[in-house]
Amino acid sequence: MQLGLVGLGTMGANLARNAARNGAEVVVFNRTIEKTKEFMKAHSAEGTFVAADSIGEFIQKLQPPRTIVLMVKAGQAVDDMLVEIVPLLEKGDTLIDAGNSHYKDTVRRELSLRDHRLHFIGMGVSGGEEGALNGPSMMPGGDKAAYEAIAPLLTKMAASDGEKGTCVTHIGPGGAGHFVKMVHNGIEYGIMQLLAESYHLLKDLGKLSNKELAETFAEWNKDPNLQSFLIEITAKIFEKKDDETGKDLIDLILDKAGQKGTGKWTTDAAMSYGVAIPIITAAVDARIISSGKDFRVQRSSEMQPALLEGVLEKSQLIASVKTALTLSILSAYAEGFLLMSVAGKEEEWNLNIPEIARIWRGGCIIRSGLLPKYQKMFTGDAAVQKELRSMFEGDNQKTWRRVVSMAVGRGIPVPSMSAALSSFDGYRTARLPQNLIQAQRDFFGAHTFERTDKPGTFHAQW
């Protein structure tokens, strides 16, 4: 089949190469003609590629009904491209936005293109540049009939799920695909922050060298409950030497984390759907705090911490942090799945949560050994449900509390790990102190309250 692709940045170029390797004739276009020439020079022998120097030529070289993938920067750039390309298309053509677009923008664009009798798919793609080339996890949403037409190619392009399937499925109508990709990125934020906090504890309290950190994370990656792409690459990061100085590269990287907005979008969406995702929100906050490097350096000399005594012996610290990390990562996944469940019902997307867990098992950034368990749990596997629940009991829970307490006492910020424990306690507490908040709201604003001893809504004369 033919596939058109607009945007030959790293992700776009690699998706084009992936499609060609899997039998598609790929017509490529980039606004910067030189980039198209460079792509053809480097990769034309890898498959069947056709280059176009203008958007008009690009459309002409595609046979209707056309399928066109847009790999341009999310936001206004997508709208600008649609303004340019839509008048050149014909009834029945399909546009696939495979960038990190906001799901509400995808809803708006699909409705608009429907008026032009065009199909629109908003497709989240995870796996970075390597995944785009060798097999990503893909989350297409929107027009199902249009998806089914392109599904044979996408199925070949996607990563393996480890059980004879591939990591692509139709997520749901409208903006469902981009919503699920956004939540994926939110979970990614949470796990990355939890790994950073674990690193901070081991380095500052345990005094682990980078060699020891590499060995520790590599060992943790052998545990079925921690095995994951993110832990795998974390171990490798601690081994990397700087090409210029020969020093450990990790120690030369400035401690200011960037972000492209998907984490914030996840917290915004959670607020709008009334879902608490404190781990992910804390991770977004932590990146924001990290960006204030000058202020932090100034405060570090002005505000000396008053620390409590007590640090675990190195081997005990490593084992304890591993337990706290495991329970916190489990909680981060749970936040994302809860958000998808609530939003899916409210938007009437009919999200298949076990299927989403399945397509995250390969290709994507948050792929891990836990996802098969979540997949089974959401299909009603009582044994797996019991196994996951039991991990939060007894000594594991005590260790989790001990690690968070130790971090607080020693002045090590663990915002996501402590948020994970706090939300766990919130959800297991039968009576919370929010009765006081309701009393306060009724006192100053006559907002009323419910009672424990009888039904109805009440207001007191305070």
Query: Amino acid letter at 256?
Result: K
* Beta bridge pairs of residue 51: 28
User: At residue 71, what are phi and psi to the nearest 5 degrees?
Assistant: -120, 65
| Residue 18 and residue 134 in contact, taking contact as beta carbons nearer than 8 Å | yes
Kindly list the catalytic residues: 181, 188
Write the DSSP string, 371-424: HHHHHHHHTT-HHHHHHHHHTTSHHHHHHHHHHHHHHHHTT---HHHHHHHHHH
DSSP state of 93: -
- Strands laid side by side in the 48-51 sheet: 48-51, 25-29, 2-6, 67-70, 94-97, 119-126, 137-142
Cα 88 to its chain centre, rounded Å, is 35
> Pseudo-torsion of CA 407, 413, 415, 421, nearest 10°?
0
| Residue 336 and residue 371 in contact, taking contact as beta carbons nearer than 8 Å | no
User: At residue 272, what are phi and psi to the nearest 5 degrees?
Assistant: -70, -30
Write the DSSP string, 143-154: -HHHHHHHHHHH
**What does the alpha-carbon distance between residue 88 and residue 94 come to, in Å, rounded to a whole number?**
12
* Beta bridge pairs of residue 318: none
Q: Which long-range contacts (CB under 8 A, 24 or more apart) does 301-307 make?
A: 305/411, 307/409, 307/410, 307/411
Instruction: Go through 314-337 and write b for each residue having 16 or more CB atoms within 10 A of its CB, e for each that does not.
Output: eeebbebbbbbbbbbbbbbbbbbb
| Residue 375 and residue 302 in contact, taking contact as beta carbons nearer than 8 Å | no
What is the number of residues in the chain? 462
Helices (H) and strands (E) in the chain, counts: 20, 7
Q: Strand 67-70 vs strand 119-126: parallel, antiparallel, or unpaired? A: unpaired
